[in-house]
Amino acid sequence: MAEAKAKKPEASGGEAPLRLTPELVAFIDEWREKPGNLIMVLHKVQSVYRYIPRTIAFEVAERLGIPLAKIYGVVTFYHLFKLQQPGRHQIAVCMGTACYLKGGQDLIQEFENLLGVGLNTVSADGEFSVESVRCVGCCGLAPVLTVDGETFGKVTKEQLPDILAKYRGA
């Protein structure tokens, strides 16, 4: 019995679909037969696009000879992988035990007030996306958040406008 093949997505609104770059094709070919190849390939794809675009997921599945469902299974299991393009600046609010107890949820609510968007969405200007994460490993600095990998500790709601201002237009 022949395996059903997923239909590749088509571009919408007159845009050409994203394609694998020659560098990514070479990387995938280099990793094709190595153990753990899918995780490595997905990390590389995300380092290029900042997320895993749907059209690229189809191409990766085809080049690796694996079902598309396997790619989506990995991408949705690991929180590091993104299926939607994030804001230009990515904010991660720690919700580990210490940060949660010291006001992590209040920081998320204040970001929602300041940016006008909830978790896992992008601000209207495309500048910021906010997500909650389990632990950033800085429990002594709780509550903690990161912006583009820069860590801020012992953060209060009152500090958030200044933190956003640092990245706005940067």
pLDDT digits (tens, 9 = 90+) for 46-55: 999 999 999 9
**Per-residue burial over 117-137, b = 16 or more CB atoms within 10 Å of its CB, e = otherwise:** beeebbbeeebbbbbbbeebe
pLDDT at 17 over 80: no
Q: Which CATH architecture has domain 89-167?
A: 3-Layer(aba) Sandwich (3.40)
Check residue 61 and give its pLDDT.
97
What band does 1 get if pLDDT is binned at 50, 70 and 90?
very low
DSSP state of 122: B
Order of strands across the sheet that contains 145-147: 128-133, 89-94, 145-147, 150-152
pLDDT at 142 over 90: yes
Token digits for 51?
């997320």
Token digits for 119?
């978790």
- pLDDT per residue over 93-110, tens digit each? 999 999 999 999 999 999
Mean pLDDT, the chain, whole residue set: 90
144 close to 134: Cβ distance less than 8 angstroms? no
Check residue 153 and give its pLDDT.
98
Question: For residue 80, is it left (φ>0), alpha (ψ between -120 and 50) or beta?
Answer: alpha
Check residue 15 and give its pLDDT.
55
The count of C-alpha atoms lying within 13 angstroms of the C-alpha of 100, restricted to the half-sphere facing its C-beta, is 7
